[in-house]
Amino acid sequence: MPLTKKGMKIRGAMEKYYGKKKGKAVFYASENKGSLGEGVVKKKKRGSSGTDVSRRGTPKSEKKEY
């Protein structure tokens, strides 16, 4: 998951305190629980239909048949 500057700072502090592997695990466990607050992990961009923009293909109307 891509992190914001705030997220990188918090994860770095946890890795320094707990060690690299355990600090990363504690950070993501805290994020999943919701105790870190908003703005720590970047959200995925969504299209107008609510689907992931990066997974959308070419619409059928734009496909060319040869």
Q: Which of 15-19, 28-32, 55-59 has the highest mean pLDDT?
A: 15-19
What does the pLDDT read at residue 18? 95
Verdict on whether the full-model pTM lies above 0.75: no
What does the pLDDT read at residue 40? 77
Burial classification of residue 11, based on how many CB atoms lie within 10 Å of its CB (0-12 exposed, 13-18 middle, 19 or more buried): buried
Write b or e for each residue in 43-56: b if 16 or more Cβ atoms lie within 10 A of its Cβ, otherwise e.
eeeeeeeeeeeeee
Q: How far apart are CA 3 and CA 5, in angstroms?
A: 7
> Which residues partner with 3 through β-bridges?
41
Residues 28-54 have pLDDT tens digits of 899 888 888 777 777 777 666 655 555
**Alpha helices (H) along the chain:** 5-18, 20-33
